[in-house]
Amino acid sequence: MENIVGQPVFKNNFFGRQLEISSIINHLETSHSIYLFGDRRIGKTSLLYKIMDEYSDKFNFTYFNLFSLDSELLSFRYILSKIFPRIPRITIIENESTDLELSQFIELVNRLKNNSNPTVLVFDEFPFYIEDYSMEGTDKVEILLSAHRVIRQRPNSNIHFIYSGESNLSRYPLLQKYLNDLITIDLNPLSKMDSIFLINDLSETLKLDFSDSIKQKIYDFAQGVPFNIQLLFSFISSYVSRNEKITESQFESIIEEAIKEKQFRYFQPPQNDSYKVNVLIEEIIDLTNK
């Protein structure tokens, strides 16, 4: 297992989460759409990649990273171009009407996929997506969310959705209004047992032999967040390359450095005006109620 810090992991570098994977797949197989939520760096994107990699024989996945995209990438025209990249976009949908675009979208996806495996549209960081699109106006946000709901609830459409975000939908009243048919899955920190398994796997990769007390300190620092374990191991690996072994007191210093790195590099909010999702969603609700 390679120790990868600060970016999604793939294939054999992914660890655990079998219960969450099974739950998501079971819901997709019963034609449910899903909202996956969890704190930053908890591993949502890595989990989505794992599912798309392992179950591509059962579902036709199309993935959208929506952290900082412009509104052009929210249209069904663009979504179709991602699902069917070999078909010229101009020939897929000629009419700009939202209603016609929606009906054509459903028809085309079902027809071109020959009603074989279900199509699953994966929208990573969906609240940021809605936030960016809200700059186009409240009406467009509501039309978009309503269109998604029509697709999800249309009988035999064979199109399902996975959305991800950092918070439960109850934090976003507008999203909750239009996404209340979703199955919500909370991605929690790893259990202590799974955390220790991950610590052991990374220790073996780096050919390190830690005492139980040091493993406990790693767990106490990480609190079940895989990213925290990976971050700390990057500091451990750097230290070991310069020293033969790590004492208990030296390990405390390594943890202090990792804490600083985590706070000032990896957990700073993006520097743009559209970061505060909840504030903007509340403003949209205020406008809608007037």
Segments making up each domain of the chain, as ranges: 11-186, 192-266
2 token code pair: 């390679």
What is residue 263's predicted lDDT score, i.e. its pLDDT? 67
What is residue 20's predicted lDDT score, i.e. its pLDDT? 94
List per-residue pLDDT tens for the chain, 290 residues long: 677 766 777 777 788 889 999 999 999 999 899 999 998 888 899 999 999 999 988 998 888 877 655 555 556 666 766 776 655 543 444 444 444 456 666 666 666 555 578 889 898 888 877 776 666 666 777 877 888 888 888 877 788 999 998 888 888 888 888 899 999 999 999 999 999 999 998 888 878 778 888 888 888 888 888 888 888 888 888 777 666 667 777 787 888 888 877 766 655 444 433 333 343 444 444 444 44
What is residue 222's predicted lDDT score, i.e. its pLDDT? 87
Contacts of 59 (CB under 8 A, 6+ apart): 28, 117, 118, 119, 120, 160
What is residue 115's predicted lDDT score, i.e. its pLDDT? 54
- Separation between Cα atoms, residue 32 and residue 25, nearest integer Å: 10
What is residue 81's predicted lDDT score, i.e. its pLDDT? 67
What is residue 41's predicted lDDT score, i.e. its pLDDT? 83
Q: How far is CA 194 from CA 17, 208, 222, 223, 255, in A?
A: 9, 18, 12, 11, 20
Half-sphere exposure (CA, 13 Å, Cβ side) for 5?
17
* Residue of 17, 66, 36 whose CA lies nearest to 185: 36
What is residue 24's predicted lDDT score, i.e. its pLDDT? 95
Query: Class assignment of domain 11-186?
Result: alpha beta
What is residue 21's predicted lDDT score, i.e. its pLDDT? 93
Note every long-range contact of 87-95, with CB atoms under 8 Å and residues 24 or more positions apart, other chains counting.
87/112
Contacts of 132 (CB under 8 A, 6+ apart): 66, 68, 69, 70, 71, 74, 274
What is residue 110's predicted lDDT score, i.e. its pLDDT? 64
- Given a contact cutoff of 8 angstroms between Cβ atoms, the answer to whether 160 and 119 are in contact is yes
- Separation between Cα atoms, residue 231 and residue 218, nearest integer Å: 10
In this structure, how many other beta carbons lie within 10 angstroms of the beta carbon of residue 256? 12
